[in-house]
Amino acid sequence: MRGFVPYLLAALICLNAGSATAAPTERLMIIGNANVPVQAIDTAELTRIFMLKRTVWPDGTAIVPVNREARSEERQYFSKQVLGRSMRSLASYWNHMQFKGFMPPVVQESDAAVAAFVRNVPGAVGYIVADKVPEGVRVLGEIK
Amino acid sequence: MGSFRGQYFGAAAAAGLMLGHAAYADDYKLGQGVRIDDLKVSGYMTVDAEVPDKGKSELLADDLSLYVQGRFNRFFNPFFEAEIAGIPLLKEGEDPLSGKTATVVLERLYNDIYLKDDLTLRIGKSLSTVGEWNGIHAGPLVPTATRPLTTYRSFSEFISGPALIYRPSDEALPVTTLYWQPAGTMSHDLDTIENRNFRNIRGVNLSWNWDLENTVGLSLQEANIKDSDESQTLAGFNAHLVFEPFVIRTEATYTWLHSPRSMRVRDHEAGIFVQGEYNLNDRWALSARYEYFQDRDYVQASKNAVFGMAYRPQPPVVWKLEYLTQWGQELGLRSGVYASLAVLF
């Protein structure tokens, strides 16, 4: 029995460590292209951008919102915490808006791809897991 | 047949813009189109099967639509849509792919200028904002395979001219659209009803939207009818209310005819439909609709009821199956079974 305790402790430590890393989306960082003419964005403004109700930055540059792919934890967390809608109703909404002449958010398949896209495309704004600030982008806020 | 010159010009312009801008593209997902730099190419296709109680059964691709939209800056945001309508696939008693000829139409061609964050000036050919259905009429976006008469019969579905669109950030205020078509249309509209070619169209639409899907709208449209002294004034109401899992949709229009032609049976026209939908889950939905339409040219009113189901395996794809029964004056909707597969791409 005594010999079993270290294994049990090790298992508990592993479980605890697992829970610490199993929720990478508890904090998301909002990032924008270095040229975006704002220093910060609150969630209300971010919602307006992703719901396509705000389409240009104050200097006239087109806003290009960037989403993660539908199955990602980040997208699900962002949809729930910021946009407050189910994935399905958002997909339906963007389909309708696309038909009406709006451009739904661009989809990128990883945090690295989002960061690269935002870095390279003027007016782009997206979200990534908040662990390390990528080079060449502007941090516009954080979602907890 | 539509204006081919306009379609080729639009397609060439879109292709030129695409070739000139190829800095980035996102991964393709069904329903999201292809984005190449500041341009996006997308579209939809609907395949309809019609089995009328009286008449020949038919399978046709109606429509195949392609749209290209660009977002460049505050002043240049073009949108182009062309569609091939009525592509015959199979018809009872006829050879496959024979029968009526498919038609190419220029649906929309306009440019948006963002005057302010909440104010857009749109110039070109666009959908007129009467009710909700006309503005989202693509097969994958509407709830049934058959379209209510009230959503297109009494007014011009398109306008060629300027439109001013106010989209306030406050949801309590309505999205307001003012539009004017000073002369004829940029290109012939496929479904134009005889003796209803509209000119000098002007209108306003107020649309209150909340929680993504809920909408209540009011419309007013005035128009002259080509080659006559006749003119008309239309007033409309529409609502789309979601009480999960139920959805209620309704549109109603009343049209006054001024100096009506002698052939007209009455000096007004009126239509209303009420549709209820029940979402069984994320994929399956049932629907039922009743419509009453009193046309300006027929003594008898047209009435129809629809009972249907829809299966949406993913948001851009929907299968629909429904039975429509109609009585009174027949106005383009025949009793029978209708099915469709609609895909956004």
Test B141 with A96 for CB contact under 8 angstroms: yes
Residue A73 has pLDDT above 80, yes or no: yes
Mean pLDDT in residue range B199-227: 94
Please tell me the distance in Å from B49's CA to the nearest CA on chain A.
Answer: 24
Higher pLDDT, A105 or B98: A105
Whether B226 and B197 have beta carbons less than 8 Å apart is answered as yes
Higher pLDDT, B144 or B259: B144
Residue A24 has pLDDT above 70, yes or no: no
Is the Cα dihedral B243, B132, B208, B271 positive or negative? negative
Query: Nearest-CA neighbor of B324 among B295, B298, B288?
Result: B288
Question: Would you place residue A7 in the very low, low, confident or very high pLDDT band (cuts 50, 70, 90)?
Answer: very low
A54, A89, A103 ranked by CB distance to B212: nearest: A89
Query: Choosing among A33, A45, A95, A114, which should be mutated to test the B contact, i.e. which has the most B CBs within 10 A?
Result: A95
CA distance B264 to A36: 59
Test B117 with A56 for CB contact under 8 angstroms: yes
Test B26 with A101 for CB contact under 8 angstroms: no
Test A121 with B24 for CB contact under 8 angstroms: yes
Higher pLDDT, B288 or A12: B288
**What would the two tokens of residue B137 be?**
């009429």
CA distance B274 to B312: 22
Query: Nearest-CA neighbor of B146 among B319, B275, B338, B344?
Result: B338
pLDDT of residue B216: 98
**What would the two tokens of residue B308 be?**
């249907």
Query: Nearest-CA neighbor of B80 among B177, B135, B11?
Result: B11
Average pLDDT, chain A: 83
- For chain A, the distance separating the N- and C-terminal CA atoms, rounded to the nearest angstrom, is 43
Q: Which residues of A touch B79 (CB under 8 A)?
A: 101
Amino acid at B84: I
- Comparing alpha-carbon positions, the chain A residue that sits nearest to B33 is A98
Q: What is the ipTM of this complex?
A: 0.84
In DSSP terms, B221 is beta-bridged to B203, B234
Q: Which residues of A touch B112 (CB under 8 A)?
A: 101
pLDDT of residue B1: 34
What domains does chain A contain, in order, with CATH numbers?
A: 24-143 (3.40.190.10)
In DSSP terms, B50 is beta-bridged to B58, B338
What domains does chain B contain, in order, with CATH numbers?
A: 4-344 (2.40.160.10)
If phi over 0 gives left and psi between -120 and 50 gives alpha, with beta otherwise, what is residue A136? left
Residue B20 has pLDDT above 80, yes or no: no
